[in-house]
Structure 1
Amino acid sequence: MKKKCLDCGEPLAGRADKKFCDDACRSNYNNRRNAEENGYLRRVNSILKRNRKILETLNPEGKVKVRWKTLVSAGFNFDYITDMYETNNGSQYRFCYEYGYLLLDNDEVLLVKRKN
């Protein structure tokens, strides 16, 4: 029984352990196989980048207070962060890469930029 390419189904010639006709078929097969996982990662990275850009735009000086609604109206998604830092007094800073925020009272948010 002749082995067939895992991507296109054409008969294979050559090595006994060969699985694909050529590099294009190998790439197509692996891209299709990884599409679901890659799609999820792409969506999450897109949200994180957008969050970072919003924080960067609203915080040009490195530390500023804004209203919670300002972040929401800009499209900020509070469900996605890259890191969290808790201070000794229990305050929790959430970060999107080097830009972060601290939820305050009265619907205010303190925006910060992490120092190197």
Structure 2
Amino acid sequence: MRIHKECFHCGKKLEGRTDKKFCDSHCKSAFQYKKEKQNPHRFYNKVDNQLKLNRKILKEYNKGGKVTIRSSVILELGFNPNFFTHYWKNQKGDVYLFVYEYGFLKTNENGKEKYVLVTWQDYMAK
């Protein structure tokens, strides 16, 4: 007698070996990828997830190409300035940190910590 179970990934009914867990190698691979992606203890995932969150926040608050915002606004949303992909130094010596195409510069105006948010421009590549 054969036992009918469901694929761990897609839920399709399985037939065959009693210890079968997936209907094919694609479902097995997709299941393992999803499982590992949800594991917050893996260093790669922690970094990748933080970069994605940082990019999302910077994109949301920089609709105009250059914006100044209080640091508390984005820090409360989970923004972590220690996670970035690259940097750019302007002629004044200011170092903008970037998360892909969205950059930020920490400043202090009137005793309040702020971030200047910018979008990557072609001239920055030179």
Please indicate the TM-score interval, normalised by the length of the shorter structure: 0.5 to 0.7
Partner of residue 67 from structure 1, selected from 70, 74, 82 = 70
Q: Which runs of 5+ in 1 are unaligned?
A: 1-23
Match of 2:116 in 1: 110
Partners of 1:94 and 1:59 lie apart in 2 by 14
Match of 1:77 in 2: 80
Kindly report the root-mean-square deviation, in angstroms, between the aligned alpha carbons of the 2 structures: 2.2
Match of 2:49 in 1: 46
Match of 1:96 in 2: 99
| TM-score normalised by the chain length of structure 2 | 0.59
TM-fit CA distance, 1:112: 0.6
Amino acid at match of 2:85: T
Q: Which moved more, 1:48-57 or 1:86-95?
A: 86-95
Please state whether the residue corresponding to 1:105 is helix, strand or coil. strand
Match of 1:17 in 2: none
Q: Rg bigger for which structure? A: 1
Q: Which moved more, 1:50-59 or 1:83-92?
A: 83-92
Partners of 2:67 and 2:100 lie apart in 1 by 17
TM-fit CA distance, 1:61: 1.5
Which portions of structure 1, spanning 4 or more consecutive aligned residues, are displaced by more than 6 angstroms?
none
| TM-score normalised by the chain length of structure 1 | 0.64
Comparing both structures, which one devotes a greater share of its residues to strand?
2
Query: Identity of paired residues, percent?
Result: 33
Q: Which runs of 5+ in 2 are unaligned?
A: 1-24, 37-41
